[in-house]
A and B are shown apart, each in its own frame.
Chain A
Amino acid sequence: MKKRRTAATASMVMAGVLVTAGCGAGGPSAGGGDFTDDKVVLALLNDASGVYKDVSGPNSKIAIQMAIDDYQEKYGDDAVVDDIEVISADHQNEPDIANTKAQELYDREGADVILDVPTSSAALAVATQAKNKKKVYINIGAGTTELTGAQCNKYTFHYAYDTWMLANGTGTVVTEEGDKNWQLIYPDYAFGQDMVKSFTGAIEAGGGKVAGTIATPFPNDNFATYITKAGAAKPQVIGTMHAGGDLINLVKQYNESGLKDQGIDLAVGLMFISDIHSLGVEAFEGTIFTDAWYWNLDEKSREWADRFMEETGDRPTYAHAGNYSAALQYLEAVQAAGTDDADKVVEELEGKKIDDMFLRNGEIRAEDHQVIHDVYLARVKGPADVKEDWDYEEIIKTIPAEEAFRPASESGCSM
């Protein structure tokens, strides 16, 4: 009898402690609080020093912090969790480092979600960890369709862009607008080969043809002869699948070649506004590419871009905006679920329709976890049309969400 009473008292004390802990620093918790460690940890895993640093890098941490601030401002005392933290790690674009870091973040640092992870092979490694550890991973930086295809899993989501969407946007639309005869130049590794496959499909679907493809070493700085060769076949447009420094080399040498004056256009597979900023609009003038988001799209985007610029001194790329949006939507899902339990959060995320600063007509597709949204076909402005710094893009077409991404039926994903 006495024993039972002691046990009851003990459990009451325990409950009291728990409730007090739950109330903690900032008032009552609406959902009753069911958190692994009384806090939510968002982990940014990306390239902090290498080629993709300017595309996303450390500035994405600031974007995620902005999402946390916005969440806290929106819910105030009603927030289900008060303690939210963003941490970051550098994966140097190496899949094995990404793999180790992901384990550390989930296990030791208590990360509830990992965000970003550029470089496809690294992203696939993190997706595998997410699956094993049953923790959420939202990819923004990597382009591979495998994440929502054969290698999809319950805990992995794909935000922002992928190779199918880039090819479909640039390949199909440019073909339909009259450039039917293509030459493709691509770096000879997994990403380049993937892009060529996607582009060829999109171009043929648009009624065009790929007359030739040229593989180049990766990395490479001398493209003059490849370009001359592509031009000698007299295509209407040359498509390049290069990125970063290789893209800049190729564009400089394309401008040198005089093909532009002969009416042979250049279409770029993957490009970020930071590329245009570093090389200058003169070099890219007239180039057509697919963009997941543009800072000067409308008032809503611009307002956020202004805040971002105050913090960082730069305008955001779509990777920065995507990290913000993904962090915010994750926290919204935590709020709705009242817990950071991954299975419950995933349930909230699946099928959710979203319209925020980044996603327009967005939906987190339940079938394959592809986050679909409106994307844009952009043309780089000429120097005369640039009204302010970073005012580089003219949006020539909005591709509606349902058409912009690979249909779920073709993804080959089974969860």
Chain B
Amino acid sequence: MSAVLQYTVQGLAAGSFYALAALGLAVIFGVLGVVNFAHGAFYMLGAVAAAVLLDTLGLSLWGALIVVPLLMLVFGMLVERLLVQWLLPLDPLYNLLLTFGLTLLLVDLVKRRYGVSGLPYERPSALSGRVEVGGVGLPVYQLFVIGVALLVCLGVWLLMTRTRVGMIVRAATERPELAGALGINVGRWVTPVFGFGVALAGLAGVLAAPFRAITAEMGSDFIIILFAVVVIGGLGSIVGAVVGGFLVGLVEAFGQAYAPTFAQVLIFVLMAVVVLARPAGLFGREEATA
């Protein structure tokens, strides 16, 4: 029983990274129709930025949780303005290639500047240690990660459902044709939404910094899992991204516990099953087929 509780917490903590990043991926796909291959690299940049800010300015995790997503927001908006927007009218494949190229570029730049061994990161002492829950010691940091992820997801959900901007973005994400038909100007929200999605990936990176190896390559496998998350949740679905993220985290943790060699395969088995049963994903909307 105690082991099950531990695996659950570990799964939800890993799922938090997936959920936050997948949320970003989902809004970007929804509004721009861009499959952002560079999302893993943005996640990596978030972690690297946190480590560099700690090393040079002494900015702790608390500060980094605010500052890094803001930096990534600006960076994301620049990427959209300078690069992504020019390819939007073309086949979506062009932006897939662009963001894939961007990944290679960012990874190599980080390698060149910071080497391959990874960067050190020390978390605030308030987040070290464990709390006893029912006789099981649960790491404070994992609970903190889950808490932050849930809060942010809730915040995004409120933003999407309770504000006009959110409603426009959601309409554009989930019913693009309809939103356009009703004369809603989606265009002006494209740049901020891309930046916002990138900022979420950066935030996931900051949260991962004390817990994962901070290397140039850390996003390379992450992005693959992330695609599985988005497919399971449903492309472009906001709730789907979050639920999919936590679900994949849990599958990974219990897979590692009970079928170690198949842990990663299980995620893709789940993906295959979902796609077979519900091609649009758990929360996706069926394409209107003629």
Contact = CB atoms under 8 A, between A and B. Distances in A.
B210 interface: yes
Interface stretch (A47-55, A127-135, A363-371): A47-55
A224 B10 contact: yes
A280 B120 contact: yes
Interface of A: 49-54, 188, 214-217, 219-222, 224-226, 228-229, 232, 244-246, 248-249, 252-253, 256-258, 274-275, 277-280, 282-283
B130 to A, nearest CB: 5
A275 B13 CA distance: 25
Contacts of B252: 222, 225
B111 A49 contact: yes
Interface string B134-170: 0001010110000000000000000000000000000
A162 B254 CA distance: 35
B14 interface: yes
What are the 4 closest A-B residue pairs judged by CB atoms, nearest first? A278-B117, A248-B213, A225-B256, A280-B120
Given A257-B139, A283-B120, 10 more contacts: A50-B116, A221-B213, A221-B218, A222-B252, A222-B253, A225-B252, A225-B256, A229-B3, A248-B213, A252-B212
Contact of A275 (B6, B7, B117): B117
A282 B210 CA distance: 12
Contacts of B3: 228-229, 232
Nearest to A214: B260
B264 A248 contact: no
A221 B10 contact: no
Contacts of B222: 221
Contacts of B7: 225, 228
B7 to A, nearest CB: 6
Interface of A is mostly: helix
A54 B115 contact: yes
Given A228-B10, A232-B3, A252-B212, A258 B130 contact: yes
Nearest to A217: B264
Contacts of B11: 225
Contact of A222 (B6, B117, B210, B256): B256
A38 B135 CA distance: 75
A221 B256 CA distance: 12
Contacts of B10: 224-225, 228
A54 B117 contact: yes
A331 B205 CA distance: 49
Given A228-B7, A257-B139, A252 B217 contact: no
Interface in B205-256: 210-213, 215, 217-218, 221-222, 252-254, 256
Contact of B211 (A188, A245, A256, A277): A256
Interface in B96-120: 111, 115-120
Nearest to A274: B117
A53 B115 contact: yes
A228 B3 CA distance: 8
Contacts of A188: 261
B211 A280 contact: no
25 contacts: A54-B117, A216-B260, A220-B264, A221-B213, A221-B221, A224-B10, A224-B13, A224-B253, A225-B7, A225-B257, A228-B10, A229-B3, A244-B116, A245-B118, A246-B213, A249-B212, A249-B213, A252-B211, A253-B211, A256-B139, A275-B117, A277-B117, A279-B213, A280-B120, A283-B120
A140 B211 CA distance: 32
B79 interface: no
Contacts of A246: 213
Contacts of A49: 111, 116
Most A Cβ at <10 Å: residue of B122, B256, B264: B256
A216 B257 CA distance: 11
B261 A245 contact: no
Nearest to A216: B260
A188 B261 CA distance: 8
A224 B14 contact: yes
Contacts of B256: 216, 222, 224-226, 229
A216 B253 CA distance: 12
A54 B115 CA distance: 7
